[in-house]
Structure 1
Amino acid sequence: MPVSLFICPLCQSPLQPAADTWRCDGSLHPKQTSHPFDVARRGYVNLLPVQQKKSKAPGDSQESIDARKRFLNHGHYAPLQELISQKMIELLSNDELIDKQDSKTVNWLDIGCGEGYYTQAMAQMGSDVIDTLIAADISKPAVVELAKVSKIAGRLWYQPRKEDTAKTTAVYPLVTSAAHLPLRPHSMTGISSIFSPILPEAFDNVLMDGGYLIIAKPDVGHLATMRDALFDDVREHDSDKFLQELAPYFTLVETCLVSTELTLSAEDLADLMTMTPYAYRARSEKRQALLAAVETVAFSTEAKFVVYILQKTSV
């Protein structure tokens, strides 16, 4: 049996995937207890123990996920999706890095994957670029959505590969905590964190030496006109504040900027507000006034993003 990429979230013993139930071997448990984790009908696996939950239903709500799906499916953030895919292809064409791995396979972790807008673009690259794509989020409703789409596309890890789709990337949708990743140390070739938590030690632990970290964040001026309409006092995004925390583990390789002009209907604007923290930070009367104004005239704003590419410092 090949060495598993996964470890048990309860006892850290090796965890072996199977089509019906994932099971650890219990080798690191004091009583050699084996822990089972059932595969859901949709194809995802819940590896989030109760003790790692900070609420009954952690992560994004179904309402937020539905809004994000509608908004992103209209292509508003497509330039960012395309840039991330392009950079990943460039990085993973680096044969020297791949040759350092015993298995010569590329294992990529998309942390905080949400409903999978960016994850699906990564999966579409095929196994010529990524062999195994682990899509992880603490929100169960988000992972359910991602697993559903992946299953329809025939990309789930347990689905048999048809002859004409032999180069399909295997997608593993996981409900899990970013702070307690159920992954074998140094098993990942790369990690993407797109508007998601930055956890330097956790990333360092699962990433191989020389592996890549791609981080996408809102840039200064992101959605400025919308924020001006919603808040009396607008605080700018401090996009690079986490770079100092990453410095002991990672070297900054490249910084990319991408922006796109948005012309939004009232429905698009409502979805944009719902999928962002502005949904609960802005006063209700401010939100309603903005939406009322857009009923007659489309709303214009600019989405501005910064993408950081870092490489793990070799020991």
Structure 2
Amino acid sequence: MSDLELPVSLFTCPICHSPMQPAKDTWRCDGSLHPKQTSHPFDVARQGYVNLLPVQQKKSKAPGDSQQSIDARKRFLDAGYYQPLQTLVCQKMTQLLAVNRAAIEEDAQPIRWLDIGCGEGYYTQAMAQTGLDALIAADISKPALASLAKVSKAANSLWYQQGADTKQTDTKKAAIYPVVTSAAHLPLRPYSMTGISSIFSPILPEAFAAVLQDEGYLLIAKPDAGHLASMREALFDSVREHDSDKFLPALAPYFELIDTHNISVSLSLPVEALTDLLTMTPYAYRARTESRQILLASAETTPFITEAKFVVYALKKRTTLS
């Protein structure tokens, strides 16, 4: 779908909350909710993302993941180590969207999905192949969004490129909107999203419920108990187990849990992949330097064996919030 097909009010201005329409070069709100009717412009970066994170919403000069972390994660994920999780997430999305389409068959609405904390877009790019109309890729890190937008642009998947790709494929590609924004201050019209995904990213029940349509979906992936256990044991004297379910009580007033799925992946990591895995996780700075060096030295001759364990939750927004 092109930007001309989107309702003007899908996006809202992060400064005055007025309706805002995407455009190829500059997104601009109409200023209707500003006391002085001031229109705020937001230029589209050359890579194809737009920065909708006002300075007053920043907690640091360069919030989010660093370029080093992003590059390491891209190499690790592109090598396919977490592909089973990517596949599972997209399968669950496809199932949820099939139910949604059946429910609204008589009054079909565009399927709009928000991928919060999308990072460099490893999961986002796969989500774009699940039959969505629009996919808002949101993260607080500009380097991450620059990487995602660059790949999307090369694939003719950015919102302003829809219709420009003359190749005929059997798979519908979503229009991707790479947006730098805070999860706590989403620049989206209330009740405008069909679904939200949060893959190892923040969980903000009230903010998510506000932009989801009634009975909209929330898909969450978290590390499960035992995730990378052997690696954490090699790095830390004391290992605290992942409490994957700890956020569910906070979601309960807004969402109903409809499905839970656990998945584990055996990993055999050469030193290069192990280095990238360390760099892309908090272990890069939480573990002692000596412990990291010993661990990496052990992988110089023999691949390091560990197991990645994940849990994926599917939830549905309650029609009557309790």
Q: TM-score range by the shorter chain?
A: over 0.9
**C-alpha distance after superposition, 1:65-103 (max 9, x if no partner):** 000001001100000000000111111011244448x66
Report the counterpart of residue 153 of structure 2 in structure 1: 151
TM-score (norm. length: structure 2): 0.94
| Residues 249-288 of structure 1 aligned to structure 2 (within 5 Å) | 249-288=254-293
User: Is residue 118 from structure 1 mapped to residue 123 from structure 2 by the alignment?
Assistant: yes
Alignment-mate amino acid for residue 245 of structure 1: A
Report the counterpart of residue 133 of structure 1 in structure 2: 135
Distance in 2, Cα, partners of 1:250 & 1:199 = 12
Q: Per the alignment, in what secondary structure is the counterpart of residue 159 of structure 2?
A: coil
Structure 1 residue 104: deviation in Å? 1.0
Residues 8 and 20 in structure 2, CA contact (< 8 A), matched pair in contact too: no
Q: Per the alignment, in what secondary structure is the counterpart of residue 290 of structure 1?
A: helix
Structure 1 residue 123: deviation in Å? 1.1
User: Is residue 78 from structure 1 mapped to residue 89 from structure 2 by the alignment?
Assistant: no
Residues 224 and 302 in structure 1, CA contact (< 8 A), matched pair in contact too: yes
Distance in 2, Cα, partners of 1:103 & 1:209 = 15
Report the counterpart of residue 242 of structure 2 in structure 1: 237
Distance in 1, Cα, partners of 2:140 & 2:162 = 27
| Residues 148-187 of structure 1 aligned to structure 2 (within 5 Å) | 148-161=150-163, 162-165=165-168, 167-187=172-192
Distance in 1, Cα, partners of 2:108 & 2:18 = 21
Q: Per the alignment, in what secondary structure is the counterpart of residue 253 of structure 1?
A: strand
Distance in 2, Cα, partners of 1:284 & 1:19 = 46
Distance in 2, Cα, partners of 1:160 & 1:254 = 34
**C-alpha distance after superposition, 1:105-158 (max 9, x if no partner):** 100000000000000001123xxx200000000000000000000000110000
User: Is residue 27 from structure 1 mapped to residue 32 from structure 2 by the alignment?
Assistant: yes
**C-alpha distance after superposition, 1:235-258 (max 9, x if no partner):** 000101000000000000000001
Q: Per the alignment, in what secondary structure is the counterpart of residue 19 of structure 1?
A: coil
Q: Which runs of 4+ in 1 moved over 6 A?
A: none
Structure 1 residue 293: deviation in Å? 1.1
Alignment-mate amino acid for residue 146 of structure 1: L
Residues 162 and 175 in structure 2, CA contact (< 8 A), matched pair in contact too: no
Structure 1 residue 164: deviation in Å? 3.7
Structure 1 residue 4: deviation in Å? 2.9
Alignment-mate amino acid for residue 134 of structure 2: T
Structure 1 residue 219: deviation in Å? 0.2
Q: Per the alignment, in what secondary structure is the counterpart of residue 91 of structure 1?
A: helix
Report the counterpart of residue 197 of structure 1 in structure 2: 202
Report the counterpart of residue 93 of structure 1 in structure 2: 98
Structure 2, unmatched stretches of 5+, are none
Residues 98 and 105 in structure 1, CA contact (< 8 A), matched pair in contact too: no
Out of 290, 296, 304, which is 2:295 matched to?
290
Out of 56, 64, 69, which is 1:64 matched to?
69
Please tell me the root mean square deviation across aligned C-alpha atoms, in Å: 1.3
Alignment-mate amino acid for residue 155 of structure 1: S
Distance in 2, Cα, partners of 1:96 & 1:291 = 51
Out of 46, 55, 58, which is 1:50 matched to?
55
User: Is residue 188 from structure 1 mapped to residue 193 from structure 2 by the alignment?
Assistant: yes
Residues 20 and 28 in structure 2, CA contact (< 8 A), matched pair in contact too: yes
Distance in 2, Cα, partners of 1:275 & 1:305 = 16
Residues 97 and 211 in structure 1, CA contact (< 8 A), matched pair in contact too: no
Distance in 2, Cα, partners of 1:43 & 1:164 = 21
Distance in 2, Cα, partners of 1:230 & 1:148 = 35
Q: Per the alignment, in what secondary structure is the counterpart of residue 228 of structure 1?
A: helix
Report the counterpart of residue 23 of structure 2 in structure 1: 18
Q: Per the alignment, in what secondary structure is the counterpart of residue 190 of structure 1?
A: strand
Alignment-mate amino acid for residue 237 of structure 1: H
Q: Per the alignment, in what secondary structure is the counterpart of residue 225 of structure 2?
A: coil
Out of 197, 212, 218, which is 1:213 matched to?
218
- Cα gap change, 1:103 to 1:184, in 2 (>3 Å): farther
Q: Per the alignment, in what secondary structure is the counterpart of residue 80 of structure 2?
A: coil
